[in-house]
Amino acid sequence: MEHMDVTFLGTGTSHGIPVIGCDCGVCHSTDPRDKRLRTSIHVQTGGFSLVVDTTPDFRAQCLRENLRRVDAVLYTHSHVDHIAGFDDLRRFCELENKALPVMGSPQTLENLARVFHYAFHAETRYPNYVRPDPRPVAGPFEIAGLDVVPVDLPHGRMVTTGYVFSRGPRRMLAYFTDCAGVPPEAEDAARGVEVLVIDGLRHHSHSTHLTVEGALEASRRIGAAQTYLIHMCHDLGHAATEAGLPENVRLSHDGLRLRL
């Protein structure tokens, strides 16, 4: 059975950490785990290379991880901190002269096509542009030998897409970023997952994101073996926050790698 290698490309909220012009302790921390680019993961399994979201930092993230191949992109939603690096996908089209499957909810793909109009419309596309192959997600699908179940997650006025990745009987990874809660359907889809990656913005409440405490509750309900918080703001220093968490809940950090 192939491994599934997960690399955290970025783990921070939309501002990134440090926040521009901020003098707080976390923004001035010398712990490298407190430097957070915008939230995204890379999944490698067999020869297949998948990214979830393309942040404004996508080029920097690719260079840091020496990413030289991308075979598909999954989008969770179309907020700017999750899509702004879309154009840097062009290099992966160019390197292998291929179009790139781009997956997400119909609403997400519609927004992508509005924002990156030039790439989605043949009449404006230069030969060296990104060549998206849009594939709206309407239900469970298979990619790279993985079964993927998309779930709806509430995120203020919008819905984001969470993804649960399984192989055969193994429910391996649930990726629930940018959500204010985990509805019963999403909880069921992720039940007993090996690794849950979940929004854990900060301690005090926010209208569109889970708190650390909300993430802990969701993790318990789901029964995740291991949980990693993601999309943290500068309220949460890595070391101090982890000290207060159960053993099987950690903060993710940029560059963290997991082998499942």
Q: Which is nearer to its own copies, 81 or 212 (CB)?
A: 81
Q: Which is nearer to its own copies, 157 or 259 (CB)?
A: 157
Q: Which stretch binds its own copies (CB under 8 A): 57-65, 167-175, 176-184, 236-244?
A: 57-65
Q: Which stretch binds its own copies (CB under 8 A): 3-11, 113-121, 177-185, 218-226?
A: 113-121
Residue 81 near its own copies by CB under 8 A: yes
* Helix (H), strand (E), coil (C) string for the chain: CCCCEEEEEECECCCCECCCCCCCCCCCCCCHHHCECECEEEEEECCEEEEECCCCCHHHHHHHCCCCCCCEEECCCCCHHHHCCHHHHHHHHHHHCCCEEEEECHHHHHHHHHHCHHHHCHHHCCCCCCCEEEEECCCCEEECCEEEEEEEEEECCEEEEEEEEEECCEEEEEEECCCCCCCHHHHHHHCCCCEEEEECCECCCCCCCCEHHHHHHHHHHHCCCEEEEECECCCCCHHHHHHCCCCCEEECCCCCEEEC
Give min distance, CB of 179 to its own copies, in A: 17
Q: Which of 117, 203, 220, 257 binds its own copies (CB under 8 A)?
A: 117
Q: Which is nearer to its own copies, 90 or 167 (CB)?
A: 90
Residue 10 near its own copies by CB under 8 A: no
Q: Which of 4, 7, 44, 56 binds its own copies (CB under 8 A)?
A: 56
Are 211 and 202 contacting, i.e. CB atoms less than 8 angstroms apart? yes
152-211 positions binding its own copies, by CB under 8 A: 157
56 half-sphere exposure, CB direction, 13 A CA radius: 11
Q: Which of 85, 104, 132, 162 binds its own copies (CB under 8 A)?
A: 85
Residue 60 near its own copies by CB under 8 A: yes
Q: Which stretch binds its own copies (CB under 8 A): 85-93, 169-177, 217-225, 233-241?
A: 85-93
Q: Which stretch binds its own copies (CB under 8 A): 102-110, 114-122, 169-177, 182-190?
A: 114-122
- 58: nearest Cα among 45, 42, 35: 42
Q: Which of 10, 18, 132, 200 binds its own copies (CB under 8 A)?
A: 18
Give min distance, CB of 36 to its own copies, in A: 11
Q: Which of 5, 107, 115, 187 binds its own copies (CB under 8 A)?
A: 115
Which strand ranges, in their side-by-side order, compose the sheet holding 5-10?
132-136, 100-104, 72-74, 48-52, 40-45, 5-10, 257-259
Residue 57 near its own copies by CB under 8 A: yes
Q: Which is nearer to its own copies, 60 or 260 (CB)?
A: 60
Report the interface residues with its own copies, using CB under 8 A. Answer: 14-16, 18-21, 56-60, 62-63, 67-69, 80-81, 84-88, 90-92, 95, 114-118, 124, 157
